Amino acid sequence: MTDTRPIHSVVLVKQVPDTHNITGEVMTKDGTMNRGALPAIFNPEDLNALEMALEIKGRHGGTVTVITMGPPKAANILRESLFRGADKVVLLTDRKFAGADTLATSVVLQLAVQKLGQFDLVLCGRQAIDGDTAQVGPQTAEKLGIPQITYAESVIDIADGKITAQRALDSGSEIVRCTLPCLLTVVGSANTPRPASVRRQMERKLSAAPGEYAALRAKWPEFETDEAVDAFLAKHDLKIPVWTAEEIGATEGTIGLAGSPTQVHKINFVVLESTESKTISPTPEAIAAMVAELVHEYIVG
Amino acid sequence: MTEQKQIWVFIEHTDGKIADVSLELTGKARELGDQLGHEVVGLLCGYNVDALAEEVIEHGADRVLLADDPELALYRTLPYARVAIAEARVRKPEIFLIGGTPNGRDFAPRVASALRCGLTADCTDLQIGDYYVKKEGKTYKDLLYQIRPAFGGNLIATIVNPNTRPQMATVREGVMRKPAADAARKGVVEKVEPAFEPGDFALEVLSRQVRKSTVKLKDAPVIVSGGAGVGSAEEFALLRDLANLLGGEVGASRAAVDAGMIDRAHQVGQTGTTVRPRLYIAAGISGAIQHRAGMDQSSKIIAINTDPNAPMFQIAHYRIVGDVGEVLPMIIKSLRERSMDQRDAE
């Protein structure tokens, strides 16, 4: 028997530099990377988490709330979430959040999820492509005091206050059943995220967070003050709420750099050097000579 | 008497066999333990797993904390974490190493969060060193240097946790070398009683399917690895042909895996398998640092790429600027001709 109770989900998302598409072009001459050349994108597995939440809403009803901690421009992925079907979004932004490691990040997410109120599921991507740590999900679950299902690939059923899901592990798979509320970290193979809906895009494209008002006013000179923009957006339910450290009740020393037990001792630039290297032309003769050399050195054959 | 400080290793096991990565880390912990004068302790949770404890000792542990309980028969986050958190609060280990497996990466952050301590994922090296903080005018002695490629570039970051214990790190399989077993080694097996709470059983495992991996990257003498530049799953067949011809295995970059060209079991790199083959052929792999971290100790590297600026070229012994679809058949043809010549000569 499937539960008829609506399911309220909170999805944790992150804006990340697109480290997947590193090409020779973003490498500088000294062998380091030009970070500015990487565009900021919606962390791919967070899109899978959002899709899973939207599918659950489709089956059970309820709501999908998306939150992100990041700089003001992270509002972009919240807008994208709205276009895809999120009911509500919140931007967690504050200078005090800066420099957070995974533990300090999980404190902010915990407080924000609790401030949202009652929830059944928290979902996030398994990991973010900029760090690949896969730590924030379980750390947030621990802080919320709820169980976790990591590497979730599909939700089989939600009934009687329990969720049944499949975990995709390198070594195989597991089907687990867990009481609600719980936190899911979702893998990329879980689903194909739906594209933004054109209708929702039309309705929500003006959504903006207060940090973006100046840019909006540059486009719409008819709004003379931020307050005027704010009043307009609020009236049309287009305002992206921003929560600061104070608003979620975070205590200093637990968030940002100060709340991070890990510290960067040093950063080494790796200078790429190959001791002896040869350039081989892509011709059958040159390739055959290379193969002969490898055979001669007992590398192959 | 002050108790000897401890370095812990989380011992993972499936079907009565300890994961290689846990024994590799036991070996690394032994090295660090000898350097620091610390005791090496394996944390072994399971049911009817007493027999595994000796194996942990043979690979370098001085002590095994054995939590043997029916509730621990299969890995589950909360019961396993309960044991680790309770014991860590009492014994206060300095360092805690965990394999970067799916369950290790499920377990470690849960424990780190409860203990409010730092955790670094997927380290590619661990060392001991000092850390001077100018602001405090203070030097922290003998910290664990947790070394890993950092996001976005050719950066290697050394992470430290000066103020919290244990210093936790995960490491992928193959990064550290597995020590030889020494049957003469002696150690203590100490039983610990888990004090579970009702909430620890919120999750039940209904079924579990173990897939035996047929991909043997770690010990392959030759690896023919493909990246985004390979273009399609079909074109990976060329890599398979060449690997078969060389008695090797097919590897892949993350880009190729993410594009669905090949199964994740083939992934080489920081978040895949670390390899040290005699020959590594990087076909259409640009060479992000995360990939290079998993293969740069290969004896010989051939890089094939249409982009002459691909970072992979900078560590390659043979650089071929060209299309994978054209170059690989040339190598295959050349190898086939050689073996034909050999047969003729015999």
**Span B277-283, mean pLDDT?**
94
This complex has an ipTM of 0.88
pLDDT of residue A225: 92
- Can you tell me whether residue A133 is helix, strand or coil? coil
Is A2 a residue whose pLDDT tops 60? no
Using alpha carbons, select from A36, A112, A31 the residue that is nearest to residue A67.
A112
Return all residues near B44 (Cβ < 8 A) that are at least 6 apart.
Answer: B11, B13, B52, B53, B56, B64, B65, B66, B67
pLDDT (tens digit per residue) in A208-246: 999 899 888 998 889 999 999 999 999 999 999 999 999
Mutate to test the interface with A, among B13, B20, B77 (most CBs of A within 10 A): B77
Contacts of B301 in chain A (CB under 8 A): 274
pLDDT of residue A35: 60
pLDDT of residue B1: 44
Which of B114, B152, B222 is nearest residue A19 as measured by Cβ atoms?
B152
Which of B106, B114, B301 is nearest residue A150 as measured by Cβ atoms?
B106
Contact by Cβ (8 Å): A136, A102: yes
Query: Which domains occur in chain A, in start order?
Result: 7-205+240-259 (3.40.50.620)
Query: Which domains occur in chain B, in start order?
Result: 6-201 (3.40.50.620), 222-345 (3.40.50.1220)
pLDDT (tens digit per residue) in A240-287: 999 999 999 999 999 999 999 999 998 887 665 555 788 999 999 999
pLDDT (tens digit per residue) in B110-145: 999 999 999 999 999 999 999 999 989 999 999 999
Tell me the nearest-neighbour CA distance from B188 into chain A, angstroms.
31
Give the position of tokens 């301590």. Answer: B117
More confident residue, B157 or A249: A249
The H-assigned helical ranges of chain A are 44-60, 75-84, 102-116, 136-144, 198-204, 213-219, 226-235, 245-248, 284-296
**Closest-approach residue (CA) in chain B for A266:** B158
CB contact under 8 A, A287 and B14: no
Worst-scoring range by mean pLDDT, A47-51, A109-113, B205-209?
B205-209
**How far apart are the C-alpha atoms of A100 and A107, rounded to whole Å?**
10
For chain A, what is the largest distance between any 2 Cα atoms, rounded to a whole number of angstroms? 78
Q: Is the Cα dihedral B258, B262, B264, B267 positive or negative? A: negative
**Closest-approach residue (CA) in chain A for B201:** A178
CB contact under 8 A, A171 and B101: yes
CB contact under 8 A, B210 and A172: yes
The answer to whether the bond into A210 is cis (omega within 30° of 0) is: no
Which of A171, A263, A301 is nearest residue B162 as measured by Cβ atoms?
A263
Interfacial A residues in 87-146 facing B (CB < 8 Å): 101-103, 106, 130-139, 141-143
Which of B121, B155, B278 is nearest residue A133 as measured by Cβ atoms?
B121
Mutate to test the interface with B, among A105, A178, A280, A295 (most CBs of B within 10 A): A280
DSSP label of A30: T
Amino acid at A47: L
Contact by Cβ (8 Å): B246, B266: no
Per-chain mean pLDDT for chain A: 90
pLDDT band at A161 (very low <50, low <70, confident <90, very high): very high
Tell me the nearest-neighbour CA distance from A216 into chain B, angstroms.
31
pLDDT of residue B48: 96
Mutate to test the interface with A, among B151, B205, B299 (most CBs of A within 10 A): B151
* CA torsion, ordered A160, A163, A164, A166, to nearest 10 deg: 170
Contact by Cβ (8 Å): A184, A49: yes
